[in-house]
Amino acid sequence: MKFLARTVLLVLLFGGTGFSAEPVTPKILLSDLKSFNSARREKALACIRATRPDALLPGLVETVLTGTRARHRRAAIMALKAYPGNDVIPQWLKILGKTGSAEIKAEVISFLSGINDRRVVVPFARHLSSPCLEVREKAAEALSRNGDDRMYPFIIELTADPNPVRRIYSLEALYYLYDRRFYSLLADLLRDENKSVRIYAVRCALQNNVSELLFIIRSIALNDMNDEARIAAINSIGRFRDGKSLFILMRSLNDENRNVRFSAASALNRLRMRKSIYSVSRRLYLEEDRQIQDMLINILTALGKTGDIRGFRKILVQGSDVPLQVRAAYALGLFRDERAPAILIDALGNSSYLVRGEVSNALGSYRTARVVDSLVRTVSSDRRRYVRSAALYSLARINSSRSVLPLYELYSREKDPVFRVLLQATIHDLIDRLL
């Protein structure tokens, strides 16, 4: 009855006029699937979706495995997906095991991962050592959802492989499949003789938040002979926010390797511990790398302390990097450090109006006579309205009677009509608040 019903449906789908019409055979369906004629291909697919003929399955599998044209293989895969997944798992697994195409393997694994059938576990586990990264990742992701204990021997075997590449494959799998049973294995891999294995092991520990292994990661950060491994360990310390590693980060901040220093600064930026202020500010004075300087200023700004102020002087007075100087001036305005005004006043002579403007704004945080006099001179003599306006705004913030008369005298001879209005409003505001 099942065969008869399918035959009738095939005849109707393909335009037959009755039972005397010749049935559509698997051979015809395969031929139509490969046709250049899109209408024939669509009609064949519609027929397969409606009838799911078992006799067609071997031809579809063979087309996927041996088809010489990509579009033929693609059509066969689409046809296979028309069948209920659980019914054709053997066919999919045959393709997975025999195809040489990494793209097809990845697609098969992705498709089968949504079925949740125990028959896929071991075939997927075998592909944890595939030469293709995408296949390995697809297999690990699928096993993280549908795996069971049968996959673990494959991972253990990889961790003990004499080839470091395969040990790395085991760590890639553990990114997705780690559990406490692998603690000792992961600890051993952190001590592996191969630096790449150690790096992947550090990342695996971080990925799975295995903070119990930080004692090994700290040792790598401090003592490893390979800088790349040290950098990976330092980065993970920052991501773990491991305050117990603070002394390692402060020591690494002075490493001769620029990338080690940058990683240490990035980690310290994550921790933002007040105990690091002196080390960070001292490094700012010594550092020549612009990115690291920027990171160090960011740390100090977040912590709200200057520390060794010489780094800020070096950047603002002796440097030439305008964006960095703007950041340094902004930070000094936040710190309210009594040593800062002298540096900021010296920086009022900077060639960049952007720096002078930010310096003028920062000086508004300090209420000394010298600051007021310097800001008045800036309002009076600077060539840029942007800078003069910043200085005038700072004088309004300081709100000192010392500035009223000089500003009034400037107003009486000001020629810029726009700035004249600003001066008038500021003078009136100062008088109102001081009286």
From residue 435, how far is each of 105, 422, 427 by CA, in Å?
A: 83, 20, 12
Pair of tokens at residue 319: 């440097």
Give residue 22's pLDDT: 54
What amino acid occupies position 214?
L
pLDDT score of 37:
87
Phi, psi of 396 (to 5 degrees): -65, -40
Q: What is the pLDDT of residue 128?
A: 97
Please give the tally of structural domains in the chain: 1
For 19-46, what is the mean pLDDT? 80
The answer to the question of residue 48 being in a domain is yes
* Residue in 153, 163, 145 with CA at minimum distance from that of residue 128: 153
Domain for residue 116, yes or no? no
pLDDT score, position 21: 45
Does residue 14 form part of some domain?
Answer: yes
In a domain, 158, yes or no: no
Mean pLDDT confidence for 193-199: 98
Asked if the structure places residue 21 within a domain, the reply is: yes
The answer to whether residue 7 sits within a structural domain is yes
**pLDDT score of 316:** 96
Is residue 151 one of the residues assigned to a domain?
no
DSSP category for residue 317 = I
So what's the pLDDT on residue 146? 85
Residue range(s) defining the domain that contains residue 49: 1-83
pLDDT average, residue stretch 60-69: 91
349-404 tens-digit pLDDT: 999 999 999 999 999 999 999 999 999 999 999 999 999 999 999 999 999 999 99
Give residue-wise pLDDT tens across range 221-257. Answer: 999 999 999 999 999 999 999 999 999 999 999 999 9
Residue 50 lies in a domain: yes
